[in-house]
Amino acid sequence: MADKKVLGFIGIGVMGASMAGHLLDAGNELHVYNRTKSKADKLVEKGAIWENSPKDIAQKCDVIFSIVGFPKDVEETYLGPDGVVENAKPGAILVDMTTSSPKLAKRIWEAGKARGLGVLDAPVTGGDKGAREAILTILVGGDEADFKAVLPYFEKMGRTIRRMGEAGAGQNAKLANQIAITGTMTGMCEAMAFAKSCGLDLDNLLGAIGGGAASSWSLTNYSPRILKGDFKPGFFIKHFIKDMKLAEEAAKELDMDLPALALTLDLYRKLAEQGMENEGTQALYRYYEK
């Protein structure tokens, strides 16, 4: 880009830490904020500039990225009295990469436009591995000019980057992605549980079926973790439940019945009730163990 932009990043978690790191490694001036300050320590040691609030980020940065937990966190970050929209510099572009509500994305866009700001909803898919390796898929909603302005930064974080339409379209595309994943996660976990009950060697089975029609991202990336007993979160169960609830709400507004989504949501809710909400989504396998 012709002039050097000052970047801000809000949300230094499992995904955000790697994503912000790629922007910093590319030589950008990067200001960061996270509710738990210690999670940003490594970035600050590498040269990122710590800020004490989203308001401080907004007042200093030209392009502001965020990836936080839940829609209520997005709303507070952007639309609260000390939030980004109210305090952003004229002409700034705001980019929320949280999986959130399409309706909320449109509200933020409208509020931003009223103040002369660019606003994009740009949720990602690819999990912690995709974030670390900068190979995320980034699904973007918002004005084309804003998308083109931010594209060089997206390219530091992801590999497949698509503008899906106007404000809210990125969120709708991500919800469609999550609906697809519900089927692959349940299918993968049920297949592994069934095979184990039959006495099959799971490593041998996965080597046999992993390259055929049964192959999926879930099978390739999560089944090896399951075999190692590794249920640490690349993507939290609590966040997947949030995504599925958002998809269910959106489907109801369209008068659609999505029974596979409803079943998977029920299974994950049962895991959360058993205290597993902070484990990775591959912990669905543990439902079948019991």
Contact by Cβ (8 Å): 114, 82 = no
Task: Give the Cα separation of 137 and 125 in Å (integer).
Answer: 5
Q: How many CA atoms lie within 13 A of 260 on its CB side?
A: 11
How would you classify the pairing of strands 124-125 and 136-141?
antiparallel
Angle between helices 202-209 and 217-227 (to 10 degrees): 170
Going by C-alpha positions, the residue among 209, 243, 239 that lies closest to residue 223 is 209
Phi–psi pair at 235, nearest 5 degrees: -150, 125
Q: How far is CA 265 from CA 56, 99, 133, 245, in A?
A: 38, 16, 29, 8
Residue 206 CA: distances (Å) to CA of 137, 183, 191, 280, 282: 25, 18, 10, 20, 15
DSSP structure class, residue 236: B
Write out the catalytic residue numbers. Answer: 174
Residue whose pair of structure tokens reads 């990043």 in the numeric block: 9
Torsion sign (Cα): 190, 196, 202, 206: negative
Looking up tokens 């979160």, which residue turns up? 233
Q: Which residues are 121's β-sheet partners?
A: 96, 141
